[in-house]
Chain A
Amino acid sequence: MIKVTFIEHDGTERSVEAVDGNSLMLAAVSNDVPGIDADCGGCCSCGTCHVYVNEEWLDKLKPMDDDEEDMLDMVDDRRSNSRLACQITVRESLDGLVVTTPEFQF
C-alpha cells in the first residue's frame, strides 16, 4: 500500500491510499481531496492540478518534460518545487510522499 499526503494551504492534512502506476492527480481526485481541479482530466494541458512537492521528495520524482514546463510556466505563484500532479506517477518508491496544494488553482 502506497500512502501519499496532501496538505491544504490552511494546513489541513489528508493521507490517502494511492494506486501503483496511477497519477498523483488521480489519487487526489478519487479520494475527494480538495484543492485539485484537474479540468483537463490529466493530460498536462490545464495546469489545475498544481502542487508544491515537499523538498525531501523532489529528487525522487522523474524530471519534468517540456509540456509540463510549458504549463507550469502559466500557473500562478510557481515555486521551485512546483509540479503538476497529473505528471507524477505513483510508485512504491514514493510511499510517504507529501505535497501541499495551493490556495487556488489557476
Chain B
Amino acid sequence: MADTADTPAAAAESDRKPSKWSMVGKNPRNMPLEDIDPSHPGIWEANEHLPFLARLREEAPVHYCRHSAVGPYWSIMKHSDIMAVDTSPAIYSSEPTIGIVDILPEFDAPSFIAMDPPRHNAQRKVVQPVVAPENLKKLSGTIRRRAAGILDELPVEEEFDWVERVSIDLTTRMLATLFDFPFEDRYKLTYWSDMATAIPGGGVAESYEHRWRAMRECLTCFTELRNERINKPPGNDLLSMLAHGEATRDMPPMEFLGNILLLVVGGNDTTRNSISGGVLALNRFPDEYEKLRRDPSLIPNMVSEIIRWQTPLAYMRRTAKVDTELRGQRISAGDKVVMWYASGNRDPEMFERPDDFRIDRSNARRHVSFGFGIHRCMGNRLAELQLRILWEEILKRFHRVEVTGEPKRVYSSFINGYTELPVVLHPL
C-alpha cells in the first residue's frame, strides 16, 4: 500500500534508544491535548494507541500536532471526516506521498497510490485487472489449495508462531502467484515488503542505506523479470501487465520500483495482519468464536469485521492543496493531513460498541480500512477472498486456534499488525 521511502510513520530516530517523542506509559487522559502525537510508533508497538486515538476523537477530532519527530501534521479522527477528506482529492492531494514522513529526493520511488488524477487513473487501470473479480474467480481454486496445504502441515496441540507459519506464508505464496514470481524465491518478496516499510533503526532495517540497498536489489530483480516478460506475449500476471501496459511500459526505473513496492506491500502486509488479527480477535471475544462455529455462513461478514477491527493500515496521509476548513479548523495549503483509519473504525458514531469484535455486525462493511474514493484499495476483493477461504478451511479442520501468549506488535504507526502470535491448534 505504501510507496517506498516514506511509508513508515515517525522515522526520525536513528535507533531504538528511548525516544523523547515516545508516549509509551503516559496517561492519554492526563496530558495536554496538543502534546498527543499518534504518529509515534512506540504506543502502537506497545498496544497503547487506542486510548490516545479515543481522546483525540472525543476532544479534538481535527487535531493539530505542532511538534513531532516528523514535523507538524493534522490528524483526522472521525469516520465522517475521514470520508470527507478521502473523497476530496482536489483539496487533499495524495502527492507527493501518502506516508507521514516526507521523502528524501534521492529515495523517491513514485507510484500511483501517491498520484492525483489523471496519472493515477491511467496507471492504476493497467494493473487493476489482475485483482478484478473475473480473475479472482480463476484464482480461488489456487488460493484454497494453498491454504489447505499450509493448514495441513501445521503441528497440532503444540505451540507455534501463527504469523510466520500461516499469515506470512499464505500471503507470500499469493503474491508470488500474482506476479508470476519464481516460487522458490518468494521469501524475497516478504523481505522487500518488510524492508520497504521498515523504520531505520527499528529492528528490521539498520539504516536508510541498508533499506535502500534492499530496494535496489528488488529493482534489479524485478527489472530482469520485466525484461523477460516484455519479450513474451502479454500474460495475466502483474509484471506482464506493467511490461505491456501503455501507461506503464515506459516507466522510469524509480517509478517502476515504486509501483512494484506498492503492489508488494499492498498485497502482503495488509492481508498478513488481517489473518493474524482475526485469530486474535476471536480469542479476545470467545463468544464470537462460538457463534462462528455454530454458523459458518457468517464468515463473509466476519471478514469485513476483522478488517475493521484490525485496520491493518492505520492511516493514509494527504497534503492540503489549498487553504481549507474542516470542523472549524483552518488547514493551510501545504499542511500534512493524516486520516487515522484506525480511529475512524472505532468511532462510536458509526459503529456501536466499536471496540467489540462482532462477527455479525450489520454495518461492518462501512469500515474505512480500504479507504474511499479514487484511491480505494485495489486488492480489496482479493483480500476478502483470501480471508474467507482461509477461515472456511480452518473451520473444516480445527475446533479452535488458541492464542497462548501475548502477540508482539510491529514498531510502526502505519503497519498496524503483528510480528509474532503464539498459538496452539485443537483439532475437531
- In the complex, which range does the number of interface residues on chain B fall in? 20 to 34
- Assuming the contacts A45-B373, A46-B372, A47-B376, asked whether A39 and B365 have C-beta atoms less than 8 A apart, the reply is yes
How far apart are B226's CB and chain A's nearest CB, in angstroms?
25
Q: How many residues of A contact B (CB 8 A)?
A: 19
Interface string of A17-51 (1 = CB under 8 A from B): 00000000000000000000101110111110000
Determine whether the beta carbon of A76 is less than 8 Å from that of B121: no
Contact of B132 among A41, A45, A73, A76 (CB under 8 A): A76
Chain A residues with Cβ below 8 Å from B121 are 70, 73-74
Interface string of B365-395 (1 = CB under 8 A from A): 1100010111010000100000000000000
User: In chain A, what residue has the closest Cβ to B378?
Assistant: A74
At the interface, yes or no: B295 with Cβ under 8 Å from chain A?
Answer: no
> A106–B128 Cα gap in the complex (Å)?
10
At the interface, yes or no: A92 with Cβ under 8 Å from chain B?
Answer: no
Contact of A45 among B83, B128, B381 (CB under 8 A): B83
Chain A residues with Cβ below 8 Å from B372 are 39-40, 43, 45-46
Which of A43, A74, A103 has the most chain B CB within a 10 Å cutoff? A74
Chain A residues with Cβ below 8 Å from B185 are none
Between A and B, how many residue pairs show CB distances below 8 Å?
Answer: 51
Main SS of the interface on chain B? helix
Interface string of B338-380 (1 = CB under 8 A from A): 0000000000000000000000000001100010111010000
Determine whether the beta carbon of B376 is less than 8 Å from that of A76: no
Contact of B365 among A37, A44, A104 (CB under 8 A): A37
Interface string of B123-145 (1 = CB under 8 A from A): 01100110011100000000000
Interface string of B298-323 (1 = CB under 8 A from A): 00000000000000000000000000
Chain B residues with Cβ below 8 Å from A13 are none
User: Which chain B residues in 216-264 approach chain A with CB under 8 Å?
Assistant: none
How far apart are A42's CB and chain B's nearest CB, in angstroms?
11
> A89–B125 Cα gap in the complex (Å)?
29
User: In chain A, what residue has the closest Cβ to B367?
Assistant: A39
Determine whether the beta carbon of B381 is less than 8 Å from that of A40: no
- Assuming the contacts A41-B366, A45-B373, asked whether A106 and B381 have C-beta atoms less than 8 A apart, the reply is yes
Determine whether the beta carbon of B83 is less than 8 Å from that of A40: yes
